[in-house]
Structure 1
Amino acid sequence: MTRHETQPFDGQKPGTSGLRKKTRVFMQPNFLENFVQATFDAVGGVQGKTLVLGGDGRFFGREAALTILKMAAANGAARMIVGQGAWLSTPAASNLIRQRGADGGIILSASHNPGGPDEDFGVKYNMSNGGPAPESVTSAIHQRTQEITEYRKLDAPDPDLDSLGETGLGEMTVEVVDPVAAYADLMETLFDFKALRDLFDSGFRMRMDSMCAITGPYAVEIFENRLGAPTGTVTHATPLPDFGGMHPDPNPTWAHELMDEMMGDAAPDFGAASDGDGDRNMILGAGTYVSPSDSLAVLAANAHLVPGYAGGLKGIARSMPTSAAVDRVAEALGLDCYETPTGWKFFGNLMDAGRVSLCGEESFGTGSDHVREKDGLWAVLMWLNILAARKMSVAEIMADHWARFGRNYYSRHDYEALPIEQAETMLGDLRARLGDLVGSEVEGLSVASADEFAYTDPVDGSISRGQGFRILFEGGSRVVLRLSGTGTEGATLRVYLERYAPEPDGLDHDPQEALAPMIAATETLVGIRERTGRAGPDVIT
């Protein structure tokens, strides 16, 4: 039997990163099957197609992969390329789609969200370019979930996901591949591995925290096996279904063990962390934290030192909430700099059109046109290659960068799991007052402009509205507010605070102190703490 009757479920609308729900929601009978069938239908079916499949190893991932394989076979797919054990980091999956000329791929991950039976799970479809599905496809998936009456699934024994090679599943070929090799090989084409081996041979010390998530095996292979870093350089290197109880989000709050080590007296020269599915990164030096916005700017300013980018960048792109630090680099280099909504698909359009080769967002994501996803280990290797070329510490590179370009003090304050109605009402009230804010003075700051960001894609002309609120003050400071779609319950309000300091004597303050006027102005304008009863943000990055 391959056809199974079903009924629609509410709440199967995918966001920019696919569909994320609590794991037990996905484990309901027919819930996963409905969404996968709707996805297959929305992309025109998978008859005769080749797809890539894998995920970050979180709880329910293997079971979901087996279900998807049987559904792909019943829907007529010709070949499924699967990471061994159903493992693939998100950037590695993007690379395989592109390298193998696949028609698309399914990634099983909820990214940086916790994993386990009572935590989060997710399913995302990526297109033939290796990037996330555009809104036209995610809308079609949602529409199909609302009308679905049956799904197709092969009644067959589970295929072997642990042995490399090809097996048959009905008329479909299942090809199990090493999840790490092709990605590690790609990294060798972009970076000077000899210079990096020499760096480690010189006594350079690094700590890489993989947070019990998918990049552990990748990091061990690249840093310890191929580059010769000492055994133990990679910590929390074994992916676990519940990430060892960790929240696999590489920021100062959740990667506190790494933060403590890097800020301690015996800190290594360099520290980094990556998230659940391997697409995010945090960069640290001894006693030095590098904000994601600053990291993007430094990579842009120094990309010419890295072999894969020695010919120069085509252009740069950043998400709207990301600080303008990289804009100043782009201006100095004579490059176009695009400001997009949050979501990697917007970068993908620009990269496919040959307009940019480096991009990033403030939520610990950076990447380039080598794949169509953000890529955590790629960012770490970029930093290492720059350190090897410049023979400076992270702190010295940051000081030099700020002296040249000025400093954009920047921080993000997250208010998590707010009641959705409360969050939407709060921002709705702000929307109604935007026109009255220009010219007003708030906590000693003069409002220069205020709007709700909308983006017209320069490649396909599509328009994305309602992408966040921007309040710009005289002198280059600003506040951005938007609701995030990466959580699985309630609403997460993200508040982005930025202050530009061009003078040398304004470059060495604690960011939260430097941003104090912006924090006060935001509370006066929006009243987040007063209206939510929260004493402060849940996470500060």
Structure 2
Amino acid sequence: MSVITVKTAPIANQKPGTSGLRKKTRVFQEPGYLENFIQAIWTGIGGTKGKTFVLGGDGRFFNTEAIQIVLRMAAASGAARVIVGQNGLLSTPAASHLIRLHGADGGLVLSASHNPGGPDGDFGVKYNIANGGPAPEGVTAAIHAATEEINVYRILETSDVDLSLCGIAQLGRTEIAIVDPVADYAALMEGIFDFSAIAALFSSGFRIRFDAMHAITGPYAKLILENRLGASKGSVVNAVPLPDFGQGHPDPNPIWAKALVNEMMRPDGPDFGAASDGDGDRNMIMGRGIYVTPSDSLAAMAANAALVPAYANGLAGVARSMPTSLALDRVADKLGIECYETPTGWKYFGNLLDAGRATLCGEESAGTGSDHIREKDGLWAVLFWLNILAARKCSVSELMTDHWQTYGRNYYSRHDYEGIDSGIANDLMQGLREKLSALPDSIVAGLRIIAADEFAYDDPIDGSHSEGQGIRIHFHGGARLVFRLSGTGTVGATLRVYLETVDAQNIHRNPQDALIPLIQAADQLAMIAERTGRKRPTVIT
């Protein structure tokens, strides 16, 4: 067992995005690719000597091999201890919790989140800091700089660590603590929610269907929902994590969780439906006959938070990403609390949570969380909803109707144009930028524009400044368009168009019908069809 130093050279385009570095799996499998990036992480955080890290992944293809490489590199660089999930598995929320629970210096999550897995799918590596949250821009910038200067990496030459049994192993001078990936997270959930009330809900005949999408949350949901809370056996489907997610797409939305949608839309469907994604940090919420958009879910959770034991004393504040619906703002206004608008990316919520400015946070991309960890948390959101329903003794549909009658309905949708040539996508955004100053007071598709800008964010805690976070166009009457390029894909560019309008009277329309004028305005403003050749979005959520 010896440390070897391997000569290397910088590899292009190893810049972390909003959720770490994501590439095709075969790219990560190329000789030295993963090793270069891991060494750059060690350099970017100021070294590993004497530090403790948490390590785990969502079980996607290449997870097992990557875990062993990271362990050997951590040992070679002098880490004191690595806490790793049994068999190399950890959901992202569970990893965040373990970092905080053990006072670790940071952690690595091996996942590409909601992206497909398998040899032809995607892989990713994300570094989380000591508060349990994604690395802020200063840290990712240092990591990126290290990828451009690297000339060697260090790795321990040894056999693989047996991760099949919980316990302590030794890798050189580094202690490897293999832990149950579910137990500590389940205990955290029990301290947040009224498990007795939820169990009583299930014992009353309330039926749930949770689609784990053959991703990481299967074991978590089986233990908590079925074994501890008493949901009927078989309520959790697709519960076994698979390297290729059963050849599915582990993104919890009506497109990729179509089987769940079909089941929930049946007249005799379950009372409650939910799904989670590859690494367990996203959620989809449904009731019989109704799909709840992530933005509406966030707003309803905030409005009913006092029904959950951990939040019974009220919320310090709430926060949403800029493209997320303004429905949350309406709730915050009525509650008399601050609502913060941040760029997309969970790392921007970290400072607000740490400073006690916000308790509940969310993004339109199916991510919701609170100050219990520093990541979004899919199963936590499901339990939050179940706790609310147990307390209010109503259906999902009744709850949302009451919510819209109280606050009005923010009809909202996201149209994704995936795999666009990056040059074309950038030209489209630049074309919009050049129009911004001339847009106010103009009429587009019959709608009057009252304001237009490119969102920038000044962090109220540390004063950091983030520019170029998406183009916003506001219309008379409360409607809004947002355009931005996503940083979570691995091929080409994804143009995301967010559409929103408000109606306090007609609250049961089809959202796509309610948004027709905005859909027309978006195409006219950005010339989407003309520039991209796309007549319709790839995905509508």
- The TM-score, its normalising length taken from structure 1, stands at 0.99
The answer for the alignment partner of 1:435 in structure 2 is 437
2:304 partner SS: helix
Q: CA RMSD in A?
A: 0.5
Residue 32 (structure 1) aligns with: 34
Residue 367 of structure 1: aligned partner: 369
1:85-106 CA distances to partner (integer Å, 9 max, x unpaired)? 1000000000000000000000
- Amino acid across the alignment from 1:528: I
Pair 1:535-2:535 in alignment? yes
Supply the AA of the counterpart residue of 2:9: Q
User: 262, 268, 271: which one pairs with 1:269?
Assistant: 271
Name the structure 2 match of 1:523: 523
Report the Cα offset of residue 502 of structure 1. Answer: 2.0
The residue number in structure 2 matching 1:204 is: 206
CA deviation profile, 1:126-180 (whole Å, cap 9, x unmatched): 0000000000111111111011000010011111111110010000000000000
Deviation at 1:193, TM superposition (A): 0.3
1:51-90 aligned within 5 A: 51-90=53-92
Identical positions, percent: 65
Q: Match of 2:510? A: 510
Q: Which residue of 2 aligns with 1:349?
A: 351
Select 2:481's aligned residue among 476, 479, 482.
Answer: 479
Please tell me the residue identity of whatever aligns with 1:323: S
Output the CA distance in 2 between the equivalents of 1:529 and 1:399.
Answer: 36
Q: Residue deviations 1:318-345, cap 9 Å, x none?
A: 0000000010000000000000000111
Pick from 286, 302, 307 the counterpart of residue 284 of structure 1: 286
Letter of the 1:15 counterpart: G
Match of 1:185 among 161, 183, 187: 187
Rounded Cα–Cα distance in structure 1 between residues aligned with 2:524 and 2:161: 59
Amino acid at match of 1:118: D
Q: CA deviation at 1:8?
A: 0.9
The residue type equivalent to 1:242 in the other structure is D
Aligned partner of 1:451 in structure 2 is 453
Equivalent position to 2:341, from 325, 335, 339: 339
Q: Choose 67-76 or 261-270, whichever is displaced more.
A: 261-270
Distance in 2 (CA, whole Å) between partners of 1:3 and 1:319 is 43
Of 376, 385, 409 in structure 1, the residue corresponding to residue 378 of structure 2 is 376
CA distance in 2, matches of 1:38, 1:199: 49
Cα distance in 1, alignment partners of residues 331 and 224 from structure 2 = 30
Question: What SS does structure 2 have at the residue aligned with 1:471?
Answer: strand
Q: Distance in 1 between matches of 2:466 and 2:532?
A: 29
Aligned to 2:110: 108
SS at match of 2:157: coil
- Identify the match of residue 93 of structure 2 among 85, 91, 94: 91
CA distance in 1, matches of 2:87, 2:135: 25
After TM superposition, the runs of 4+ consecutive aligned structure 1 residues lying more than 4 A away are none
Query: How many angstroms does 1:266 deviate by?
Result: 1.9
- How far apart in 2 are the matches of 1:427 and 1:159? 48
Gaps of 5+ in 1: none
SS of corresponding position for 1:154: strand
Q: Distance in 2 between matches of 1:110 and 1:540?
A: 21
Deviation at 1:539, TM superposition (A): 0.4
Counterparts of 2:155 and 2:398 in 1: how far apart (Å)? 57
1:215-264 Cα distance to aligned partner (Å, 9 max, x none): 00000000000001111000000000000000000000000000000011
* SS in structure 1 of the partner of residue 452 of structure 2: strand
Instruction: Describe the superposition over 1:331-369 as per-residue Cα deviations: whole angstroms up to 9, x where unpaired.
Output: 000000000000111111100011000000000000000
Aligned counterparts of 1:182 and 1:529: Cα–Cα separation in 2: 49
Query: Partners of 1:301 and 1:267 in 2: how far apart?
Result: 26
Give the CA deviation at 1:527.
Answer: 1.1
1:297 aligns with 2:299: yes
Q: In the alignment, what sits opposite 1:260?
A: 262
Offset at residue 463 of structure 1 (A): 0.5
Q: Secondary structure at 2:83's aligned position in 1? A: strand
Q: 1:535, CA displacement in angstroms?
A: 2.0
Cα shift readout 1:34-64 (whole Å, capped 9, x = no counterpart): 0000001110101000000001000000100
TM normalised by structure 2 equals 0.99
- The amino acid across from 1:512 in the alignment is Q
Distance in 2, Cα, partners of 1:77 & 1:196: 42
Measured in 1, the distance between the counterparts of 2:197 and 2:35 equals: 48
5+ residue gaps, structure 2, are: none
Deviation at 1:285, TM superposition (A): 0.2
Deviation at 1:529, TM superposition (A): 1.5
Counting matched residue pairs gives 539
* Partner-residue secondary structure (3-state), 1:2: strand
Determine the structure 2 residue equivalent to 1:314: 316
List per-residue Cα deviations over 1:248-286 (Å, max 9, x = no partner).
Answer: 000000000000000112210000000000000000000
SS at match of 1:142: helix
Report the Cα distance in structure 2 between the residues aligned to 1:439 and 1:102, rounded to whole angstroms: 53
Measured in 1, the distance between the counterparts of 2:492 and 2:18 equals 17
